[in-house]
Amino acid sequence: MKAIFLDIDGVLNSDEYFDKVSNLNIQGIEQEIDIEKIKLLKKAINETGAKVVLSSSWRYTKKAQQLKELLANYEICVDTTPFIQNRRGLEIKKYLLEHKCIEDFVILDDEVFDSYDDVLIKKLVKISNKNGHSLGEGLQPKDVNEIIERLGRKKVKNEIEQELER
């Protein structure tokens, strides 16, 4: 199994998105989450077959359930990492220890945490914050391409059948 450890702020939203929605009458969780970024995430999931594991601090806020419901509307079901005193690297490692079925993973985040060791740094798909504001650009098509390149495309039914015949 493959996994995408997902941060939210700076990944599924951006400075540009917040500028745009400030002038619109958008209600609910959509004020903070860019649907276009969800669609990009969905493309990465569809191409790789990866499951999503929420590593963002959003997982223990009041908005967590709304976020999960919004993602479910796009057929994205999420699991969550455990909470270990906001030590994201340790939280990801504990999740991996508890889920031995994960063969490969990426970390999708706009930040690099002190608790990331060399192994986790190599798995990081760092989302750019090059625009110089607080959240940056959010998830981009180039990031989706990197996720697909790192995790590989999922096998289609014909490929699996051919392997079984060998």
Q: Residue-wise pLDDT tens for the chain (166 aa)?
A: 999 999 999 999 988 888 888 777 777 888 889 999 999 999 999 999 999 999 999 998 888 999 999 999 999 999 999 999 879 999 999 999 999 999 999 999 988 888 999 999 999 999 977 655 567 889 999 999 999 999 999 876 555 555 556 5
Q: How much is the pLDDT for 61? A: 87
Q: How much is the pLDDT for 81? A: 95
Q: How much is the pLDDT for 154? A: 82
Domains of the chain: 2-165 (3.40.50)
Buried b (16+ CB within 10 A) or exposed e, 85-102: eeebbbbbbebbeeeeeb
